Chain A
Amino acid sequence: MSDPLNEEPEAAKARRRRNLVLGLALTAFAILTFVVTIVRLGGHVADRTF
């Protein structure tokens, strides 16, 4: 499949790496938000009413 962006191979590789790192950073942020939420809720998470 041809490259629609018509990039040099080196540029395409750098872009893929940037996207990979950005994806990892976003994943880490989502995990961090979840962990902070759980820690802040602490033991009260089991006391919630439905």
Chain B
Amino acid sequence: MTDTAAAPATGSAPARWNDYVVLLKPRVMSLVVFTAFTGLICARTPMSPTLAFVAVLCIAVGAGAAGALNMWYDSDIDGLMRRTRARPIPMGKVQAADALGLGVVLSLLSVMMMGLAANWLAAGLLAFTILFYVVIYTMWLKRSTPQNIVIGGASGALPPVIGWAAATGHAPPNAWLLFLIIFLWTPPHSWALALYTAGDYAKAGVPMMPVAKGAASTRRQILLYSLAFVPVAIAPSFTGLGGPLYLAVSGLGGLMFLLLATRLMRSGSGEADGAQDGLYSVKAGSKDARNLFAFSILYLTLLFAALLAEHALGLAPLVQGLKGLS
């Protein structure tokens, strides 16, 4: 990527260094860093700040590498969708082969460094996460089943477990509870977005739930997943992980989440014809889908922020001494 092979397609601007940063999906990376750091802190195990920093950096770089490999493989369909057509490969700024090289090199470096800085359980989990996202989700599930983001969501849910494993060398049930929170959060979050971007997915041949099963079925499944998700989101209050602040945030936020999911279920979101202008500029019929999508991001952020805040403030968990959970 440093020679003229990086030269863009005729007529477009030459690749800048920050085009390669865009390949790493910085916004996704920031959420991954946040949840991984929360997992590391929740482990309540003393760790060298330097090694903790390196461990989180490895998770961030590993996630970025997975993002680059995703953009390499999906470069054919990214150009067809409004949300992704401005990415560096469809724009002709970066060649797909360069994204592949960047992704492979960063994957190897991040996993090896994690093993050296923390431990090989964390490194193994990081390698599994990258492979799962690229091979299982991107290459296999994404284009073949409407359950793509349900199963593929596992890769996005693993960072807190990796953070926990980096700090302690093991992954107890409470770490997997954080995994389960993100895992069950992913379907309502992604399908709410898909309800008002279904046209794009259909054009690209990606069988997202609204494309494959229709809007009504998707709205019903969003509500069902929300009913499963909210109790799990509240559960850390009773497993020795969350304190009173977490209980308040997860409980009140959970009620709001269910309210929005119910409103979405009763709405006609995803039914109307016409294209949206962007993620936050949607036709009136899809307002309920947009509201749930936006609130889902806020809710997940608040859940992990509450856990971090409680640890920073030294607030004790509501339930103590549940052996084997942490």
Contact = CB atoms under 8 A, between A and B. Distances in A.
Interface of A: 5, 7-8, 10-11, 14-15, 17-22, 29, 32-33, 35-37, 39-40
Given A39-B50, A40-B116, A40-B117, A19 B2 contact: yes
19 contacts: A7-B4, A7-B7, A8-B14, A10-B13, A10-B14, A11-B14, A14-B13, A14-B17, A15-B2, A15-B3, A18-B6, A18-B16, A18-B17, A18-B20, A32-B54, A36-B116, A36-B117, A39-B48, A40-B117
Nearest to B49: A39
B16 A32 contact: no
Contacts of A37: 116
Contact of A18 (B15, B109, B117): B15
Interface residues of B, number: 21
A29 B112 CA distance: 12
B4 A32 contact: no
Contacts of B17: 14, 17-18, 20-22
A29 B105 CA distance: 13
B279 to A, nearest CB: 30
Contacts of B117: 36, 40
B116 A22 contact: no
B3, B16, B17 interface centre (most CB from chain A within 10 Å)? B17
A21 B14 CA distance: 15
Given A18-B20, A22-B1, A32-B113, 15 more contacts: A5-B4, A7-B7, A8-B14, A11-B4, A11-B7, A18-B2, A18-B16, A19-B2, A21-B17, A32-B54, A33-B113, A35-B50, A36-B50, A36-B113, A39-B50
A34 B54 CA distance: 12
Nearest to A6: B4
Contacts of A36: 50-51, 54, 113, 116-117
B6 A15 contact: yes
